[in-house]
Amino acid sequence: MNNSKKYFLYKYTPAFLLFTSILNEIDFNSEFKYFSFNFAYILIFYYNLKKEGGIGYILIFIAGLFNDVVNGLPMGISSLSYLLLCTAAAYLRNITLRPSLIKDWISFLITILILNFITYSYLILFFNYEINYFNQMANIIGTFLLYLVFSYIFRFYDDFLLGKAN
């Protein structure tokens, strides 16, 4: 595979995965009652933490709008969440001296806890949205635990395309 194709795959695969995961709305709750995770959070956080350009803020904003339409949420809620996640990842990337997967993992947990608090507070206060807290906690825990798995997969994919470690 020549370098231009590798660069194209390296640059646009995360955006393709983001839109695919949002538009498909894969629901793991139907088969596994107490297991769900937010793949978009993992993808956005990882690629904005590890790559300077990340996925691209405009693409992430548009993906959030699509997510709102697919899930029936008020317009802009997911976009706000995704952009706050980008902000946290960019901040962590800039203050980190020695990258560590464990530190990234703990930072991801703190970020998604704060993010979900802000998002669902906004939904409850302004839109009288009903939330199943047990499902939300299961989603947060599943997202947190699967961050490690997907970070290894993403790192392997990036190393395979680039032929080296980032």
Please state, in angstroms and rounded to a whole number, the distance separating the CA atoms of residues 159 and 48. 17
Cα 161 from chain centre:
21
∠ CA(20), CA(24), CA(30), 5° rounding? Answer: 140
DSSP string for 14-78: HHHHHHHHHHHT--TTTTSTT----HHHHHHHHHHHHSSS-S-HHHHHHHHHHHHHHHTPPTTHH
Please state, in angstroms and rounded to a whole number, the distance separating the CA atoms of residues 16 and 75. 22
The one-letter amino acid at 9: L
Task: Identify whether the C-beta of residue 143 lies closer than 8 Å to the C-beta of residue 109.
Answer: no
Please state, in angstroms and rounded to a whole number, the distance separating the CA atoms of residues 93 and 100. 11
Q: What is the pLDDT of residue 32?
A: 61
Q: What is the pLDDT of residue 69?
A: 92
Q: What is the pLDDT of residue 6?
A: 76
The one-letter amino acid at 70: V
Interval 134-163 mean pLDDT: 90
Q: Is the pLDDT score of 30 beyond 60?
A: no
Q: Is the pLDDT score of 39 beyond 70?
A: yes
Interval 62-82 mean pLDDT: 93
Picking from 101, 109, 5, the residue whose alpha carbon sits closest to that of residue 50 is 101
From the CA atom positions of the chain, what is the Rg in Å? 16
Tell me which of 83 and 5 has the higher pLDDT: 83
Taking only the tens place, the pLDDT of each residue in 133-143 is 898 999 999 99
Domain boundaries, the chain: 3-28+37-162
Taking only the tens place, the pLDDT of each residue in 42-70 is 999 999 998 887 788 999 999 999 999 99
